[in-house]
Amino acid sequence: MNKELIVAEIEKGTGKEVRTLAFLTDKVIRIAFTDESILILKETSKRIENIYNFLQSQGVNNIQYPKDCYKIDGVIYYIFEYVTETFYPNNKKVLDLKQEINHLHSKTKVVKRLSATNFKYFKRIYERLDAKFKLLETFVRTAETKPVKDDFEWIILSKYKIYLETKKILYQLQVKLHGYIDNKESVVYALNHGKPNISHIMNKTIVSLEHARLSVVVSDIAKFYCENENYNLDWFKIIDEWLNQYEGNFYKVYFKFLVLYIFMINLNINSNYNYTTLNIYIRIAEKLRAAQHIFESYK
């Protein structure tokens, strides 16, 4: 990344003198000018322009839109106002995010029929799950076959039943999902945010769309739960009220399937277990057990 070139282009475009550049991430730059004003520069991709144009055409007003676009040394950047936010509790911020994501869905929704195309998507999911469960089995077998077991092995074996129950539930939900596809049920698609965590909302405005894509609304709702489930909230009430906006049981079945799938895919283990892999194994098991308990009625 050529800092001098970025400074030159920004000064040319804004007519202001840059005082400092600060890299907040490898793709986000905080630019301070000599007149004390501040802007944010984000590296992005061409497709985001189409998303912003679409949202403007639909009257979506809870998105932070870019002020300008620059192409610097072949890389596309958007420039945004620098926004500060008064602190308020994270639990409230989670609820605000839910409200704004729901608004995004409602303004961009379309109804489509499930079709054979969905089989291709599900096939990739099932292949990944199969590979993950095989790796898990190897991980557990390593502990199981040790003639003398230490605390590591006993913990691994005690948690394994949660994973086995997850595998059974995923299979049952999978059968139901194929039934919905066979029946070509109509479901609601919308522009999904793609990474709905509280770092992407400020002052009740969504500030990032880098992961946005058109998909079934449940995809965002499942990710929203997985990204924020560590906050102490009434999760069944929050999710059930959200899903009840949509007619039919497909949404609840697909939600539970996606939540369990997301947690399982995040299980990063190998046969040479240590404190790190053991902690991941325990943490994911607890997340799976909590989701199964909270959303037990979603069958």
pLDDT digits (tens, 9 = 90+) for 72-107: 888 889 999 998 888 889 999 999 999 999 999 999
Residues 1-8 have a mean pLDDT of 83
pLDDT exceeds cutoff 90 at 154:
no
pLDDT digits (tens, 9 = 90+) for 224-266: 999 999 999 999 999 999 999 999 999 999 999 999 999 999 9
Residues 141-150 have a mean pLDDT of 78
pLDDT at site 232:
96
pLDDT at site 249:
95
Can you tell me the distance from the alpha carbon of 227 to that of 184, in angstroms, rounded to the nearest whole number?
30
Q: Is the pTM of this model over 0.85?
A: yes
pLDDT at site 1:
63
pLDDT digits (tens, 9 = 90+) for 113-134: 998 777 777 888 999 999 999 9
pLDDT exceeds cutoff 80 at 44:
yes
Residue 24 vs residue 121, higher pLDDT: 24
Mean pLDDT score of the chain, rounded to an integer?
91
pLDDT exceeds cutoff 80 at 146:
no
Residues 57-63 have a mean pLDDT of 95
Sign (positive/negative) of CA torsion 194, 198, 199, 201? positive
Query: If DSSP codes are grouped into helix, strand and coil, which group holds residue 135?
Result: helix
Residue 71 vs residue 80, higher pLDDT: 80
Residues 57-68 have a mean pLDDT of 94
Q: Which residue has the tokens 């002052």?
A: 203
Amino acid at 126: Y
Can you tell me the distance from the alpha carbon of 205 to that of 90, in angstroms, rounded to the nearest whole number?
15
Using CA atoms, how far residue 200 sits from 100, 182, 224, 285, in Å, is 11, 37, 12, 27
> 248: alpha, beta or left, given left = phi > 0 and alpha = psi -120 to 50?
left
Amino acid at 232: N
pLDDT exceeds cutoff 80 at 46:
no
Can you tell me the distance from the alpha carbon of 297 to that of 299, in angstroms, rounded to the nearest whole number?
6
Counts for the chain of helices (H) and strands (E), in that order: 9, 10
pLDDT exceeds cutoff 70 at 153:
yes
Burial of 208 (0-12, 13-18, 19+ CB in 10 A): buried
Confidence of residue 281 (pLDDT cuts 50, 70, 90): very high
